[in-house]
Amino acid sequence: MSNARQAQHPIASSFTARWSPRAFDGQPLSEARMRSLFEAARWAPSAYNFQPWRFCYALAGTPHFEDFVALLVPANQAWARHAGALVAVLSQSTRTAADGAEQPFPSHAFDTGAAWMSLAMQAYDMGLATHAMGGFDAERARRYLRLPANVAIHAFVAIGQRGDASALPEALQAREQASDRNPQAGWVFEGPMA
């Protein structure tokens, strides 16, 4: 597919070339490739260097993978089951202060978003595709992943080699293309928003 997306200002081409397909080829990712993705996430910026991100993952062809697929809403199950791996993106919402007290860590989601983007860009650099999903059963996922109360669950991510769009359910085939982005004029403000 040619990349028809055009930046309005000069940026690295990887930002417009990376997108979130749903068609994967079903080949499992290796443990070594997963470790490279997580290594990229490791180097994301983090307030106080706390690094609140947490990831649980399952490789295609393993029992955990089928369990991860079952945590997704049916519309996502239909295509995500062909990914090479599924990853749950999590963050620790508290940290232990110097006095030993557990305190809220306000930037946990912000920092974890940076880690997820690092993972996504590393995947792109490795020739892999990623697609983040908010469509999952949060309560079932919390129970299955055995998450403590101070760990938030943000998304699941399908990762793998691109597949043929014709393998997708018919309703998704037409959507298998890179989407554009809203222009800066609608969301960038010098000074106050109003």
Is the residue at 181 inside a domain? no
Three-state SS at 166:
helix
Is the residue at 191 inside a domain? no
Containing domain of residue 71, as a range? 32-96+106-157
**Span 150-163, pLDDT tens digits:** 999 999 999 999 98
Instruction: Specify the number of domains making up the chain.
Output: 1
Beta bridge partners of 88: 56, 156
Is the residue at 124 inside a domain? yes
Cβ atoms of 90 and 153 within 8 Å: the answer is yes
Is the residue at 184 inside a domain? no
Is the residue at 77 inside a domain? yes
d(CA 35, CA 129): 16
Helices and strands: H and E segment counts in the chain: 7, 6
**Which one is predicted more confidently, 5 or 29?**
29
Q: What is the pLDDT of residue 20?
A: 83
CATH of the domain at 78: 3.40.109.10
- DSSP structure string for 7-29: -SS---THHHH------B--PPP
Is residue 43 scored above 70 in pLDDT?
Answer: yes
% of the chain surpassing 90 pLDDT: 78
- DSSP structure string for 30-69: PHHHHHHHHHHHHTS--GGG---EEEEEEETTSHHHHHHH
How far the first Cα of the chain sits from its last, in Å, is 40
For the ranges 38-42, 120-124, 189-193, the lowest mean pLDDT is seen at: 189-193
Residue type for position 166:
S
Is the residue at 177 inside a domain? no
Is the residue at 148 inside a domain? yes
pLDDT category at 94 given cuts 50, 70, 90 is very high
Is the residue at 172 inside a domain? no
Q: What is the pLDDT of residue 41?
A: 98
Is residue 103 scored above 60 in pLDDT?
Answer: yes
Q: What is the pLDDT of residue 3?
A: 52
**For the chain, what is the mean pLDDT?**
94
